[in-house]
């Protein structure tokens, strides 16, 4: 055997090790990368959970940096993240919009009464159509939308205090700063 | 004759394979014509359920899979082409939903990695064979060659 070929098994091992390291280093496979980042919030026409006579459209949400939180009464993690949304909402620095996903309006109303309502408005996505347009495949999920209605970030799973402080708040601050700069540049 | 345990396993496998055929039918959608129904069947078969990692839309009972089947039914009934339905899903759920991912910079390795490995294997094989044939052509001195011929003749004559 010629000498270089002695290193073939070592090379194969190294390649395999790198492949496995890369494979195991990937994020949780349940967290799909969002296809929607940087794209406009989808159009919709859904009723307000707390006032089913009122129709809410995408246009009603523009003009403010907002968190879009997909929630449901059947979703246990939505109860887990609920206090954090109450706190965010009380601080008042950002609007929290609820998308009540695949739910019953009455149950949703009771839920909001029982746990207190952190949402500026919650729209009733009873059939999950807005969910599909958002690329949602479960609840809870939370999106950061800028004032012009572009989706800037997506978080899958509950928004705990750590997620808010370490992940979402920096995104929100960056988006706000960017918008202040844009206004200044225009003025 | 098959022995009893083997037979029961075979029957279970057979039943299992038959039950799979019913998956797509659980929603009981109505179609305007058989072609549309066939398109629907193929689409829910080849698109992947976003929630369940390794099941297609047809095989999953999850809420999102039901929603997406309903959406595909609506789209095919409205005359949307297969490519447009795939694009609709791709825009919302990205590469993950396609069992046959598109060629882009993220999927290059996935598509061409096996070819690369094949090329590498062929190259190694080529080198291996080549080095073998070289080894057999060992340089022998005239005397040694002479001895070798004698030895070979010797054995052949025996």
CATH number at residue A58: 3.40.30.10
B72 and B136 assigned to the same domain:
no
The answer to whether A5 contacts B127, with C-beta atoms less than 8 Å apart, is yes
Q: Which pair of tokens denotes residue B114?
A: 């096996």
pLDDT for the residue numbered A78: 95
Nearest CA-CA distance, residue A135 and chain B, Å:
5
B50 and B93 assigned to the same domain:
yes
pLDDT mean over B29-55:
90
Q: Which pair of tokens denotes residue B23?
A: 């998956």
B60 and B128 assigned to the same domain:
no
B25 and B89 assigned to the same domain:
yes
Q: Which of B67, B96, B131 is facing A132, going by the closest CB pair?
A: B67
- Taking contacts as CB-CB distances below 8 angstroms, the residues of chain A near B68 are 132
Q: What is the CATH number of the domain that holds B67?
A: 1.10.8.640
Banded pLDDT at B22 (limits 50, 70, 90): very low
Q: With pLDDT > 90 as the criterion, what percentage of chain A qualifies?
A: 76
- Angle (CA) B80-B84-B90 rounded to 5° is 140
- Asked whether residue B56 is assigned to any structural domain, the reply reads yes
Q: Which pair of tokens denotes residue B123?
A: 């190259």
Q: Is the ipTM of this complex over 0.90?
A: no
B92 and B118 assigned to the same domain:
no
- Asked whether residue B72 is assigned to any structural domain, the reply reads yes
pLDDT for the residue numbered B24: 46
Domain enclosing residue A88, as ranges: 33-186
pLDDT for the residue numbered B157: 62
Q: With pLDDT > 90 as the criterion, what percentage of chain B qualifies?
A: 40
Q: For residue A1, what is the enclosing H or E element?
A: none
- Asked whether residue A53 is assigned to any structural domain, the reply reads yes
- Asked whether residue A3 is assigned to any structural domain, the reply reads no
Q: Is the pLDDT of residue B142 over 50?
A: yes
Banded pLDDT at B21 (limits 50, 70, 90): very low
B91 and B117 assigned to the same domain:
no
Q: Which of A1, A32, A131 is facing B96, going by the closest CB pair?
A: A32
**Which residues of A touch chain B, with CB atoms under 8 Å apart?**
1-2, 5, 8, 29-30, 32-36, 102, 127-129, 131-138
Pairing of strands A151-156, A141-145: antiparallel
pLDDT for the residue numbered B16: 61
Residue where one domain finishes, among candidates B53, B71, B97 = B97
- Taking contacts as CB-CB distances below 8 angstroms, the residues of chain A near B90 are 35
Q: Report the domain count for chain A.
A: 1
The answer to whether B131 contacts A131, with C-beta atoms less than 8 Å apart, is no
Residue ranges of alpha helices (H) inside chain B are 4-20, 34-46, 63-77, 82-93, 108-136, 142-157
**CA pair distance B141, B151, nearest whole angstrom:** 15
* pLDDT top residue among B30 and A30: B30
Q: Which of A5, A29, A135 is facing B93, going by the closest CB pair?
A: A135
Domain enclosing residue B70, as ranges: 21-97
- Asked whether residue A157 is assigned to any structural domain, the reply reads yes
**CA pair distance B112, B121, nearest whole angstrom:** 14
pLDDT for the residue numbered B74: 94
- Asked whether residue A8 is assigned to any structural domain, the reply reads no
**CA pair distance A46, B122, nearest whole angstrom:** 60
Q: Is the pLDDT of residue B135 over 70?
A: no
What confidence tens digit (pLDDT) does each residue in A32-77 have? 667 788 999 999 999 999 999 999 999 999 999 999 999 999 999 9
What confidence tens digit (pLDDT) does each residue in A8-41 have? 889 999 999 998 888 777 666 666 667 788 999 9
Please check whether residue B51 touches A, CB under 8 A: yes
Q: Which pair of tokens denotes residue A54?
A: 């009122």
pLDDT mean over B103-128:
89
Q: For residue B107, what is the enclosing H or E element?
A: none
B52 and B84 assigned to the same domain:
yes
pLDDT for the residue numbered A23: 78
Mean pLDDT of chain A: 91
Q: Which pair of tokens denotes residue A36?
A: 């929607």
**CA pair distance B25, A148, nearest whole angstrom:** 43
pLDDT for the residue numbered B100: 82
The answer to whether B50 contacts A137, with C-beta atoms less than 8 Å apart, is yes
- Asked whether residue B5 is assigned to any structural domain, the reply reads no
Residue ranges of alpha helices (H) inside chain A are 8-25, 76-91, 105-115, 129-133, 161-163, 169-186
Q: Report the domain count for chain B.
A: 2
* pLDDT top residue among B3 and A81: A81
- Asked whether residue A69 is assigned to any structural domain, the reply reads yes
What confidence tens digit (pLDDT) does each residue in A165-179 have? 999 999 999 999 998
Banded pLDDT at B25 (limits 50, 70, 90): very low
Residue where one domain finishes, among candidates B73, B97, B121 = B97
- Asked whether residue B14 is assigned to any structural domain, the reply reads no
Q: Which pair of tokens denotes residue A167?
A: 């992940």
pLDDT mean over B114-124:
93
Distances (CA, A) of A122 to A8, A99, A165: 61, 5, 23
Q: How many CB pairs under 8 A join A and B?
A: 49
pLDDT for the residue numbered B5: 63
- Asked whether residue B62 is assigned to any structural domain, the reply reads yes
A31: nearest CA partner in chain B: B51
Distances (CA, A) of B35 to A79, B31, B141: 46, 9, 78
Please check whether residue B63 touches A, CB under 8 A: yes
- Asked whether residue B2 is assigned to any structural domain, the reply reads no
Please check whether residue B124 touches A, CB under 8 A: yes
Q: Which of A8, A102, A134 is facing B124, going by the closest CB pair?
A: A8
């Amino acid at each position: 055997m010629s000498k270089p070929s002695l290193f073939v098994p070592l090379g194969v091992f190294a390649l395999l090790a790198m492949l496995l390291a890369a494979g195991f280093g990937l994020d949780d496979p349940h967290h799909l990368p969002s296809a929607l980042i940087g794209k406009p919030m989808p159009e919709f026409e859904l009723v307000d959970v707390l006032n089913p006579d009122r129709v809410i459209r995408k246009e009603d949400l523009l003009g403010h940096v907002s968190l879009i939180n997909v929630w449901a009464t059947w979703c246990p993690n939505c109860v887990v993240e609920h206090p954090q949304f109450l706190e965010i909402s009380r601080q008042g620095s950002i609007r929290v919009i609820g998308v009540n996903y695949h739910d019953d309006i009455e149950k949703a109303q009771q839920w909001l009464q029982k746990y207190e309502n952190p949402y500026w408005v919650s729209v009733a996505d009873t059939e999950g159509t807005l969910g599909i347009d958002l690329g949602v495949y479960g609840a809870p999920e939370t999106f950061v939308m800028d004032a012009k209605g572009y989706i800037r970030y997506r978080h899958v799973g509950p928004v705990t205090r750590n997620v808010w402080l370490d992940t979402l708040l920096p995104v929100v601050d960056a988006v706000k700063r960017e918008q202040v700069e844009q206004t200044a540049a225009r003025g | 004759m098959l022995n009893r345990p083997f037979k029961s396993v075979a029957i279970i496998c057979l039943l299992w394979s038959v039950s799979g055929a019913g998956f797509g039918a659980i929603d009981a959608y109505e179609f305007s014509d058989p072609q549309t129904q066939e398109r629907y069947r193929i689409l829910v078969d080849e698109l992947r359920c976003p929630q369940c990692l390794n099941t297609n839309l047809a095989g999953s009972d999850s809420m999102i899979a039901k929603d997406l089947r309903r959406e595909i039914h609506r789209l095919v009934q409205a005359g949307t082409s297969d490519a447009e339905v795939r694009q609709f899903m791709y825009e919302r759920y990205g590469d993950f939903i396609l069992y046959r991912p598109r060629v882009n910079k993220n999927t290059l390795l996935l598509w061409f990695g096996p070819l690369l490995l094949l090329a590498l294997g062929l190259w190694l094989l080529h080198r291996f064979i080549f080095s073998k044939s070289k080894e057999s052509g060992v340089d022998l001195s005239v005397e040694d060659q002479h001895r070798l011929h004698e030895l070979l003749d010797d054995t052949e004559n025996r």
